[in-house]
Amino acid sequence: MKHFFVLLLFTLSLNYSAISQTTDEEGMKPVIIEAESGAIGSGFDVLQDGDISYVTTNSNFAGSASPEDSSRVITYQVSFQESGTYHLFARLRVGAGGWDDDSFFSGNGFGEKDVSSGSDWVMINGLAGAGYANSTDVVDDLGGLGSNVWKWVNITKNLFTNNPFSVSDDQLTRSFQVANREDGLQFDKFAFGKTNLYYTVEALDKVLAGTDEVEVDSSRFYPGPPLADGSSKFLGNLRGGSESNFSNLWNQLTPENEGKWSSVGNTSDSTRWNWGGLTSLYNYAKSHNIPFKHHCLVWGNQQPTWISALSKEKQLEYITTWIRQNGIRYPDMEMIDVVNEPLVTHNPPDGRNGRANYKEALGGDGVTGWDWVIKSFEMARQYIPNAMLLINDYGIINSNSATTSYLQIINLLIERGLIDGIGVQGHRFEFESASTTTLKNNLDRLAATGLPIYITEFDLGNLNDSGTPNDNQQLQLYKRIFPIIWEHPGVKGVTLWGYIENRMWQSTCYLVRTDGSWRPALTWLAEYIKENPTGIERSVSTLPASVVLNQNYPNPFSSKTTIDFSINEPQNVSLKLYNGMGQLVETLVDGRLETGSYSVDWNAGQNGKDYGNGLYIYQIVAGGKSASRTMLMLK
C-alpha cells in the first residue's frame, strides 16, 4: 500500500479556524431563543430529554401553504443588540419517522402572521437530511445529518428563497413565529446570527461571537486525485452539504435530497420554489468539471404534499412546470433519474401507503401497463434534451423476477427511443446477502439491452445496519460485492450513497470517520480501483480474433483523445462515435484496411464543432461483428 493512500486525511464538515473578527463582539454573538420560552399554542407539547426542555408537535397537519390555525403557532419576542440582517438557525431533532417528521412553518419575516395567508409563511421541509452536530462544524450550508440526533440547521440560507429577517435601530425587539406541521419534529432552540458572519455549532451552543472570515484546515484534506481518476468508469458520490474536498475523492456528483420535488416545491406557488440547494450542487459539479446526475423527477416518495389533492389536469400542469424548469435551469446536466422506483410494490406515485398520488395524471397504467412511465420519459426528452435519461430502482439485480419486471419497462422505453441508461440501486439491504452469481447474471440480462448500466446508490456496512460499526465486516462485504459491480463491462459508473460518519441514512455504512481517517474499506477501495482502473474490459459482442479494440487515452479527456485498434488480416473496418443517446457523432474510419496497428485521434473541438461533456461510445465493426467501449469527456 503506497503512502499516498495512508495519508487519508479528510475533513467531514468544514473545520474552520477564525482569522479575523469585527470589533463589536456582543453584536457578533447569536441571539438565542429557548423553544419553550414563547407563547405556545395547544398544538405543541413541552417535553424533557435529560436537561433539555423542548417543544414538539402533538398532531400531524397536511397543509403546505400556511398553518391555518393559531393553535399550531408559537410566538417569541426577540431582543437584538444591534441592527442588521440575520440568518435564522434552529437546534432540532427529527424523530424516528424521518422524512415524515421533518417539516414545520416559519414566519416569512418578523411580526405576527396571518395563519391563513400563504405569503406570510414558509414551509420548511427536508430536515431529515440536514444539519450539523460536531462542535467545530460551521453551520452554513445545509449539512446532512439524519434523524434522532440534536443538530443545528441554518434555516434561512438553505431553505428560504430570500432572507426576510432584517432589524432596524429603531425596532430592536421583534416578534417571531413558528408553526407546527409534522409530529415527531422537536425544537430545543432557535437562534438569529448576522448573515455576514459564520457560526460553528460551539458558537451557537455557547453563545460565542461569529467570525467574518474562515479558512479551511487543509491539513485534514485528502489531496486527490479522485479515486477513479483515469478510469473509463466514474466513481461518484452524493453531495448534500459542505464536503469541501468532494472533488478530490469522487469524479461524479448526485444530489441526495436537493433535487427531489419535495425539497424544491414546498409550496404550490411555483414562483416561490426553492432551487437554491440544487443549483449550488449543479454549479459545484460544473465548476469542478465532474458529471452531474440529477436525482430525480417522478417518484411516489418525497414529493410535494399539495400535489395529491389537485385535479389530474392541474397535476399535469405542475408536473410539466417541474420538468421544464429543471431543463431550463440545468441545461448541461449529464444524466437524470427520470422515474425513480416505479415497480408496483416499490414507490410509484399511486397514492398508496402514504405515497404521492398523481400517476393517473401521467396516463396511469394505460395500454402498455406502464403508460405513466412512458409519459414521464416523453416529457423529459422534450424538456431536457441534452441529458441522458435514466430509470432507477432498488432490489433489481439481486432478484430474477424484479429484473424481469424492470426489463419490461426498459424495453418499452427502448422501443420508443426514450431511455439512455439503466440505474440500479445498490444499497446494503440489496447486496449484503445476495448471491454473486445472481448479481452477475442479472447484470448480463440488463447489459444485453445495449444500454449502459449505472449503480446509483451503493452502500455497505454492518449486516442489517445494526450494532456498532464493524470495520472488518464492511471490508469483507466490499471485497465480495464491489468487484462484481465494477468489473462488469456493462457497468459504466458507480455512485456511492454517502461516505461521512453521522451523515448517512444507513448509519454503519460510512467510509470516513469524524476525525477524518478512512475506514479499512475505503483504503482497500482506493487501492483496488488504482489496480483495476477500468474493471475487466470484456466485450459483450465477440470480435474476430484478428481485431483488437483498446481503451481510448487519456480517459476522461477534455477535448482530444486517441483510440487504438489493430487487425492481423486485411478487411473492411468501420469505427464510429456515438453520444450517450445513441446518436451518431462522427465516423472515424470507414474502409478497407491492411494488416497493422492503427491510432485514430478525435478532437471534439475541431471544425468549429462544440460537443458537450458526457459519456460517448465508440464502436468498431469488422467481419460482420461489433464491439464498443465508452469514454468520458470533461471540459
SS (H, E, C) 331-382: CCCCEEEEEECCCCCCCCCECHHHCCECCHHHCCCCCCCCHHHHHHHHHHHH
pLDDT tens digits, residue range 274-288?
Answer: 888 889 889 889 988
Going by pLDDT thresholds of 50, 70 and 90, the confidence category of residue 128 is: confident
pLDDT for 515? 72
Q: What is the pLDDT of residue 149?
A: 94
551 and 436: one domain?
A: no
Which of 26-35, 196-205, 212-221, 224-233 shows the lowest mean pLDDT across its residues? 212-221
Q: What is the pLDDT of residue 6?
A: 31
244 — pLDDT class (breaks 50, 70, 90)? low
Q: What integer best gives the mean pLDDT of the chain? A: 87
Q: Are residues 453 and 378 in the same domain?
A: yes
Q: What is the CATH number of the domain that holds 578?
A: 2.60.40.3080
Angstrom distance (rounded) from CA 611 to CA 603: 10
In a domain, 121, yes or no: yes
Residue 625 is predicted with a pLDDT of 67
Angle at 458 between CA 455 and CA 459, to 5 degrees: 170
Out of 163-167, 256-260, 314-318, 626-630, least confident range: 626-630
Whether 626 is covered by a domain: the verdict is yes
Whole-number pLDDT of residue 18? 36
| 249 and 203 in a common domain | no
Q: What's the rounded Cα separation, in Å, for the pair 330 and 314?
A: 24
Share of the chain above pLDDT 90, in %: 59
The DSSP line for 63-90 is -SS---SGGGEEEEEEE-SS-EEEEEEE
The model's pLDDT over 419-430, given as tens digits with 9 standing for 90+, comes to 999 999 999 999
pLDDT tens per residue, range 66-91: 999 999 999 999 999 999 999 999 99
Beta pairing class for 31-34 and 185-194:
antiparallel
Q: Is the pLDDT of residue 21 over 50?
A: no
What integer is the mean pLDDT of 365-388?
96
Burial 584-610 (b: 16+ CB within 10 A, else e): ebbebbeeebeeeeeeeebebeeeeee
d(CA 132, CA 502): 9
CB 394 within 8 A of CB 341: yes
With 80 as the cut, is the pLDDT of residue 41 above it? Answer: yes
180, 318: one domain: no
- Under the banding of pLDDT at 50, 70 and 90, the label for residue 104 is very high
pLDDT interval class at 20 (50, 70, 90) = very low
Residue 313: which H helix or E strand, with range?
helix 312-329
Report the range out of 309-318, 514-523, 529-538, 566-575 with the highest average pLDDT.
309-318
262 and 308 both lie in a single domain = yes
Residue 195, SS3? coil
Mean per-residue pLDDT for 99-115?
A: 93
Q: How far apart are CA 457 and CA 428, in angstroms?
A: 9
| pLDDT at position 543 over 60 | no
**609 part of a folded domain:** yes
618 neighbors 583 (Cβ within 8 angstroms): no
Q: Are residues 96 and 160 in the same domain?
A: yes
Q: Range with the lowest mean pLDDT among 67-76, 403-412, 480-489, 550-559?
A: 550-559
Same domain, 359 and 457: yes
Residues 111, 102: Cα–Cα separation, whole Å: 24
Q: Note the Cα 466 to chain centre separation in Å.
A: 24
Residue 63 has pLDDT above 50, yes or no: yes
Assign 540 a pLDDT band (cuts: 50, 70, 90). very low
Residues 245 and 389 occupy one common structural domain: yes
pLDDT tens digits, one per residue of 429-467: 999 999 999 999 999 999 998 899 999 999 999 999 999
Residue 2: is its pLDDT beyond 80? no
Say if residue 481 is in the same domain as residue 560. Answer: no
**Domain containing residue 622:** 547-633
Beta-ladder partners of 413: none
Here the CATH number for the domain that contains residue 311 is: 3.20.20.80
Check residue 581 and give its pLDDT. 60
Listed in sequence order, the DSSP H helices in 185-232 are: 201-206
Q: Angle CA(35)–CA(41)–CA(46) in degrees, nearest 5?
A: 45
Is the residue at 520 inside a domain? no
Apex 66 CA angle, 60 and 67, nearest 5? 40
Catalytic positions are 341, 457
pLDDT band, residue 622 (cuts 50/70/90): confident
CA distance 203 to 208: 4
Quick one: pLDDT band at residue 267, thresholds 50, 70, 90? Answer: confident
Query: Quick check: 253 pLDDT over 60?
Result: yes
Residue 330 lies in a domain: yes
Task: List pLDDT tens digits, range 330-364.
Answer: 999 999 999 999 999 999 999 999 899 999 999 99
Q: Is residue 530 part of a domain?
A: no
Give the total number of structural domains in the chain: 3
pLDDT in tens, 598-618: 889 888 876 656 677 777 888
Q: What is the bridge-based pairing of β-strands 173-180 and 73-79?
A: antiparallel
Q: What is the pLDDT of residue 560?
A: 86
Distance (Å, whole) CA 431 – CA 412: 27
pLDDT over 50 at 3, yes or no: no
Check residue 546 and give its pLDDT: 67
Residue predicted with more confidence, 125 or 161: 125
Res 537 pLDDT > 70: no
The CATH number assigned to the domain holding 161 equals 2.60.120.260
Is 512 part of any domain? no
In this prediction, residues 253-268 reach a mean pLDDT of 89
Statement: residue 510 has pLDDT above 70:
yes
Please check whether residue 311 lies inside any domain of the structure: yes
CA distances from residue 274 to 92, 296, 456 in whole angstroms, order as listed: 21, 15, 25
| Same domain (yes/no): 173, 255 | no
Same domain, 450 and 583: no
Looking at the fold, whether 291 and 207 belong to one and the same domain comes out as no
